């Protein structure tokens, strides 16, 4: 691949998470604890109800006056009581930190959104179907850089029509001594390069595999796919198909013997793509340019 093109495209796939700020979570009162939760229950409800105005949602500050780490302009507080899920407060960003919630303002917001559904200063979230999860430990396995987090140990609460059906504790990481450790996502590219350096990268065809790639580790912990980390338009414009096929196949063949620990989300195994960047020197040696 042409090195000039390679360098021109160096910023082509900057993750959105780098351009965004970490966001404040909502909270759920469960038994005697108030715990951060990364489930946007109220947000999804508001988006369905108010599609005409993207700046204000039922009088709530949505973007205009919101801070970088609270773009919604509010935080919601939920509560599980008598096997039912309720929303009990809508507060200003960071208000809970000072432990001084303006209940009058919170009730006004709840009433403006839910009207007659507000009963006894709370609203039964009868629209929610799915799994509500929150951490049992502080160890984060994965984070999108903005909001959503996967914790190693979580509590899952299965809810239907706002009623609790099942509660369970899960571990989202299977540590197998026969497999490669996968907890630290940043270190996985180093494991890849340890394998890739053993390969011969000077090809008779003159293929230059110095580029950016996304390597898929599937839900079983196996390396199953390699693709270029560019848009289809960029690939079509700047790369030859035979060279692209050669490089992605070579990388896959070099890495497919690796077996990694299994990561789960809400107790179910997941796949993920790992970003790597290769630089090929004229002597045929590769360098790890992964940021």
CB-count exposure of residue 26 (10 Å: 0-12, 13-18, 19+):
buried
Q: What is the CA radius of gyration of the chain?
A: 24
One-letter-per-residue 3-state SS of 39-75: CCHHHHHHHHHCCCCCCEECCEECCCCCECCECCCCE
Mean per-residue pLDDT for 4-9? 37
Q: What is the pTM of this model?
A: 0.80
Q: Which of 25-29, 95-99, 144-148, 198-202 has the lowest mean pLDDT?
A: 95-99
Please give the helix or strand (H or E) that residue 224 lies within, else none. strand 223-228
**pLDDT level of residue 67 (50, 70, 90 thresholds):** low
């Amino acid at each position: 691949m042409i090195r000039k093109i390679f360098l021109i495209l160096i910023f082509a796939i900057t993750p959105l998470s780098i351009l965004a700020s970490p966001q404040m979570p909502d909270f759920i009162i469960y038994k005697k604890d108030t715990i951060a939760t990364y489930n946007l229950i109220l947000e999804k409800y508001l988006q369905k109800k108010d599609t005409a105005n993207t700046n204000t949602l039922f009088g709530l500050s949505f973007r205009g006056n919101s801070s970088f780490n609270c773009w919604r302009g509010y935080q919601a507080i939920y509560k599980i009581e008598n096997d039912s899920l309720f929303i009990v407060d809508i507060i200003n960003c960071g208000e809970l930190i000072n432990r001084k919630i303006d209940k009058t303002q919170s009730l006004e917001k709840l009433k403006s959104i839910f009207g007659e559904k507000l009963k006894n200063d709370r609203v039964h979230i009868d629209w929610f179907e799915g799994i509500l999860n929150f951490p049992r430990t502080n160890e984060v396995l994965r984070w999108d850089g903005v909001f959503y987090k996967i914790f190693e140990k979580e509590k899952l609460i299965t809810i239907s029509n706002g009623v609790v059906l099942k509660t369970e504790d899960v571990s989202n990481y299977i540590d197998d001594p026969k497999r490669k450790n996968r907890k630290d996502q940043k270190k996985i590219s180093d494991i890849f390069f340890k394998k890739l350096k053993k390969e011969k990268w000077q090809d008779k065809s003159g293929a230059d595999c110095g580029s950016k790639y996304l390597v898929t580790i599937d839900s079983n912990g196996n390396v199953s796919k390699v693709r270029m980390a560019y848009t289809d338009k960029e690939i079509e414009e700047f790369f030859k198909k035979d060279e692209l096929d050669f490089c992605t196949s070579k990388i896959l063949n070099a890495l497919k013997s690796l077996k990694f620990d299994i990561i789960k989300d809400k107790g179910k195994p997941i796949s993920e793509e790992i970003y790597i960047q290769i630089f090929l020197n004229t002597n045929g040696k590769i360098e790890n340019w992964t940021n």
